[in-house]
Amino acid sequence: MVGNFDFLQAEWPQLHAEAKKAERDALFDPRTTCFYARRVVEHTVKWIYRTQNLAEPYKSDLAARLHDGKFVAVVGHSLVAKMDLIRRLGNTAVHETRSVPKDAGTKALAELFHILSWLARNYATQPSSKPSPQQQFDPARLPKPGGGAVVAKTVAQLGKLEAELATKDAQLEQSEAEKQDLIAQVQARDEAAETAELEKASLEQLIAELRAQIEAAHQASAVAPDTHDYDEAQTRRDLVDLMLRESGWLLDQPRDREYPVTGMPDGKSGFADYVLWSADGRPLAVVEAKRTSVDPFAGKQQAKLYADCLEQMTGHRPVIYYTNGFEHHFWDDLRYPVRQVAGFHTRDELELLVARRSSMRPLADIPVPQKIAGRPYQEKAIRAVAERFEHENQRAALLVMATGSGKTRTVVALADMLMRANWVKRVLFLADRKALVKQAVAAFKTHLPDSSPVNLLTDKNTEGRVYVSTYPTMMGLIDETDSGAKRFGPGYFDLVVIDEAHRSVYQKYRHIFGYFDSLLLGLTATPKDEVDYNTYQLFHLETGVPTDDYSLDQAINDRFLVPPRAVTVPLTFPLQGIRYADLTDEEKKRYEGIDWGDDVPDDEIPDVVQAEAVNKWLFNIDTVDKVLETVMTHGHRVAGGDRLGKTIVFAKNERHAQFIADRFDANYPEFKGSFARVITHSVTYGQDLIDKFSQPDQEPHIAISVDMLDTGIDVPEVVNLVFFKPVRSKSKFWQMVGRGTRLRPDLYGPGQDKTDFFIFDVCGNFDYFDQHPDASEGALSPSLSQRLFTVRTELVAALDRSGGATELRKATADTLHTQVAGMRLDNFIVRTRRREVEKYTDRAAWDSLTEQQAAEIVEALAGLPTTVRDSDEMAKRFDLVVLRGQLAVIIDDGTLPKHEGTIRGVADGLLEEGLAIPKVKAKEELLREVAGDEWWLDVTPEMLEHARRELRSVVGLLAKKKRAIVYTDFTDTRGEVVERDMPEMRSGTDVERYTAKVRDYLRRQPDNLALQKLRSGKSLTAADLESLEDLLARSGAGDSEDMERAIANAQGLGRFIRSLVGLDQQAVQEAFAEFLGERTASSSQIDFVNLVISHLTRHGEMDPKLLFEAPFTDTAPQGPTQLFAPEQTKRLVGVIRSISNSAGAATA
């Protein structure tokens, strides 16, 4: 009988034999059919890797091979989806004991036919081996069972068979049989090939011959379009089936698919694509699946009508899903609006969801467990969350609570209430550190033992009601399956708690929060005004308005936390650096004898070591000794005054921490090396040291930390904090302060409670926050790979606009296409962007990019994980600089000089230090061209691309200059150690929101005379100032504290208002008219001054330091000194200061 795969017999005899085995049992043993179909796919993939000369991926299994970017680029995502479907069906057949659907075998063979017919049409050399594009899989050709009894293989039998065949395959690859198979393939494609000659050839020669034949056939087949119908819609339905099976739905009953319903509009009937049933026959959910080209919302009303019909027919209302295979939407229309979900709920989860419609109790009726969280503010926070969940019908809430105020206990109490009210069955608590996971597990065990808390870091397979994990651990667990089903499906948890919900967590791990279909609760100690915009967006809240807020100052005023006492330790070296001129003669001799490193010539010793270098790479004995003496003398003491209380020293880096510990041991040998210990991430068994530090009477009593103890450590006995490093983030500063705020009764003896704690500031942090009360963290940068993807996409779009450099465009688009092809659709992060991934896996989608398409690609794809990896960080950094240079040449935005300097610097460095290396020596001619001036005169994107390709492999050989570590013992000067007030703890309106509101109000007051005078640069009277102050008060943008803070930050009322309304452009131009009129200005000078005028017009004032930053350096990379003589530069700065100070002077 003719089989479906006979076209393989001549040129792929081994594949044909395996495919015949897959066909043999299809009508009575789908399990064995799926097993053999998977084997055929595996052999097919290996054949493609060999003949296309593809490098093996990071792991040599079928899943890794399928999702490797270069492989996907060869076969396309649609075929990979079919191959992956067969892989999963085969895995299910071998490893799962539950029954395999009867039609699984024929489905696998139908998909296998698409794969193998594509293979033959693209790579067969003989016309007889190429099936017609119109030919489809024919179930009628499947062999019928014989007259005797037929017995399907069991899982155990297939498992044994798999092991035997794997061994046989491994032996085959090392045997003569492999050579004979290659000879047969070569001869099938070339009848003139002599057997005797082929027998003499090596395996490598045979493979090379086969590759040449295949390439010729492939080139010929590429000319004709592929008109075969690959039945993408069926594959998509099969993938929906697979996702349902991942959630435990077997779909093995006729009622599961195409279920007939009655009662549609106009008396019509219909067929629901899927109905998911309870164990006792109630409809739990209806699923409407649309084509991928259709917006899933097109199925919303249809699915609702099916739900209405099912309710009328059965008396039970199901929940609703509608999907197009890319996006899945869930609608429990008796409780919530529609929401997007990552997949389907299990039967147990749906039964619980439906049951809650009647079993949920009002949260207002559930008392807050006072033994767990009995403080008034904790109860208030719990009630605020409950009201948001219940009365506002929102599914996300954010609590801002000061460090030490009991966030975890608040969550434990809330979880207890939600469980008692039947709102929640399982809780996931996510933290960013292992120590916090341990603390959370301990809190649940202590206060809610019936929840059976599970630490997923150590007990991944334990069951419970509360699970605690770090973010990275959960990212890995989400994609894991057990017997084909996901353990942690989208509906597994009813409440997800995010500890320290700040923006870095949002940026790195937001996909977790989108994956789980649960209530969401965020916790943070970051002041509400410092919480990032994206974090508020995640919880669907207005910026600056969390669900509830309990600030540090409020907690101190309520006596639930103790206040800090600020102590300045003014040492010269950490604040001002070390100046050679200030040293004694004897110290100067020692200074001159220091080995500053190979990059500092002996006759060029530095005159000054900047403060930033102190404790970074220069460590001075006397500096550390004086700090330790201060703490030991002035710090809080316990045990009747005999011992320094628990102390945390925040060090600058690992070397600094160890140096502090070494100096402590040298100065206080009586403690035998155990009193002060370094606790950092690199210390083995660091958690054990933390545990010991947490015990009141155990050593160590001084913990010297780098970052590890900045947040998360909960030791009420801490009474001294030493800031031995500069901190410039306001939120981090207050989190570090929070290490000492916890109450501790009887710390100093019976009835002698902890009432405060000391903060010893060595590095001027108090002064910094006095001057910068609204300091915040800088923007979080995208990863290097994400930036590369973005710039490459922008480069392709720019080349499309310019119409040049076609080869460069093709190569760049190929690189991007390969990266997208390596984005695995079974990854839960990638799955959320399935539509865009599949769209841009098609190479034709890259042939032309509009700006809108480029923006779509960057937004959707740049941050997704891909199997295409490049581990050479230095090469990637070089790529980024060159790509930006290419973009600068194409769009001519004036930024090329900046990138040129970096690229030439790399070339110079390789010439100076790398010519002894043969790989670098081979590039010497190009390096000298790139380092010279002439090469850059008319540089083109193609020239830069050539340099990038040639040099990226050697830039990593450029030796990084390691800064010499210097130890000194110069006498440091310590000023008076005094207490002072803490920097003001800000609360109230977000500064940006306040200024935005004021700016909007002021712009709607064009007739105010004082504003007109201020914008024109004229001096103001006292009456003008009163008018402006009254304007601010009437704006309604904030309270008096907000206004005072904004004015103080701007150094005056006039400066603040002018920073919002700017200056009149004509007034600024008049101020510079004299400067430009003094001489005949060049066009470059005029352009530079126009940039200054533009800045002043917009901002109202200007710091002259900005002249040496972008955008001014885009015109003159060296700043104004490149364009103007020294006297002219001074005059320019004078005009700027005069204009800027006019607003400040008016406030005097």
Instruction: Give per-residue pLDDT as tens, 789-813.
Output: 999 999 999 998 888 778 899 999 9
Please answer whether residues 482 and 445 qualify as being in contact, where contact means their C-beta atoms are separated by less than 8 angstroms. no
Q: Residue 461 burial (CB < 10 Å; 0-12/13-18/19+)?
A: exposed
Mean pLDDT to the nearest integer, 101-120: 89
Q: Are 1055 and 1110 within one domain? A: no
SS (H, E, C) 223-256: HCCCCCCCCHHHHHHHHHHHHHHHCCCCCCCHHH
CA dihedral of residues 1083, 1084, 1086, 1092 (deg, nearest 10):
160
Q: Are 1056 and 1069 within one domain? A: no
CA dihedral for 127, 133, 137, 141, sign (positive or negative) = negative
Residue 778 lies in a domain: no
What is the domain extent for residue 1080? 1065-1146
Most confident of 84-88, 145-149, 535-539: 84-88
- Determine the 3-state secondary structure of 608 from DSSP: strand
| The last residue of a domain, from among 179, 197, 223 | 223
Tokens 């841009």: give the residue: 840
- Determine the 3-state secondary structure of 643 from DSSP: strand
Q: Would you state the pLDDT for residue 181?
A: 63
173-182, 223-232, 610-619: the lowest-pLDDT one: 173-182
Residue 364 lies in a domain: no
Q: Are 176 and 51 within one domain? A: yes
Q: Are 1070 and 1051 within one domain? A: no
Q: What is the pLDDT of residues 276-288, one digit of tens each?
A: 999 999 999 999 9
Most confident of 205-209, 790-794, 834-838: 790-794
Q: Would you state the pLDDT for residue 812?
A: 94
Q: Are 86 and 214 within one domain? A: yes
Residue 966 lies in a domain: no
Q: Would you state the pLDDT for residue 1147?
A: 41
Where residue 462 sits, what CATH number does that domain have? 3.40.50.300
Beta strand residue intervals within 447-570, DSSP E:
454-455, 466-470, 481-482, 485-486, 495-499, 519-524, 548-550, 564-568
What's the chain's length in residues? 1148
Q: Are 824 and 946 within one domain? A: yes
Most confident of 376-385, 507-516, 535-544, 1026-1035: 376-385
Is pLDDT at 645 greater than 90 in this prediction? yes
Is pLDDT at 242 greater than 70 in this prediction? yes
Mean pLDDT to the nearest integer, 128-146: 85
Q: What is the pLDDT of residues 26-80, one digit of tens each?
A: 888 888 899 899 999 999 998 898 888 888 876 778 888 887 878 888 888 778 8
Q: Would you state the pLDDT for residue 197?
A: 59
Is pLDDT at 204 greater than 70 in this prediction? no
Q: Are 612 and 707 within one domain? A: yes
Please answer whether residues 863 and 64 qualify as being in contact, where contact means their C-beta atoms are separated by less than 8 angstroms. no
Q: What is the pLDDT of residues 178-191, one digit of tens each?
A: 556 665 665 565 55
Residue 540 lies in a domain: yes
Q: What is the pLDDT of residues 480-514, one digit of tens each?
A: 876 667 789 999 999 999 987 665 676 678 888 88
404-408, 746-750, 775-779, 1050-1054: the lowest-pLDDT one: 775-779
Is pLDDT at 1048 greater than 80 in this prediction? no
| The last residue of a domain, from among 223, 250, 275 | 223
Strand order in the sheet with 718-723: 676-679, 702-705, 646-650, 718-723, 757-761, 564-568, 978-980
Q: Would you state the pLDDT for residue 804?
A: 74
SS (H, E, C) 937-961: CCCCHHHHHHHHHHHCCCHHHCCCC
DSSP 8-class letter at 488? S
Is pLDDT at 943 greater than 60 in this prediction? yes
Q: 107 versus 754: which is more confidently predicted?
A: 754
Q: Are 821 and 893 within one domain? A: yes
Q: Would you state the pLDDT for residue 989?
A: 40
| The last residue of a domain, from among 223, 251, 270 | 223
Q: 458 versus 1097: which is more confidently predicted?
A: 458
With residue 702 as reference, give the H or E element that holds it.
strand 702-705
- Rounded mean pLDDT of the chain? 84
Q: Are 1113 and 1038 within one domain? A: no
> pLDDT grade, residue 436 (50/70/90)?
confident
Mean pLDDT to the nearest integer, 890-906: 88
Residue 413 lies in a domain: yes
Number of domains in the chain: 7
Q: Are 336 and 382 within one domain? A: no
Q: Are 797 and 667 within one domain? A: no
CA 1045 to chain centre: 34
Beta strand residue intervals within 529-624, DSSP E:
548-550, 564-568, 578-579, 608-609, 618-620
Q: What is the pLDDT of residues 722-755, one digit of tens each?
A: 999 999 888 788 889 999 999 999 999 999 999 9
pTM of the model: 0.66
Residue 1083 lies in a domain: yes
> pLDDT grade, residue 382 (50/70/90)?
very high
Q: Residue 440 burial (CB < 10 Å; 0-12/13-18/19+)?
A: buried
Q: Are 580 and 659 within one domain? A: yes
Is pLDDT at 195 greater than 60 in this prediction? no
Residue 849 lies in a domain: yes
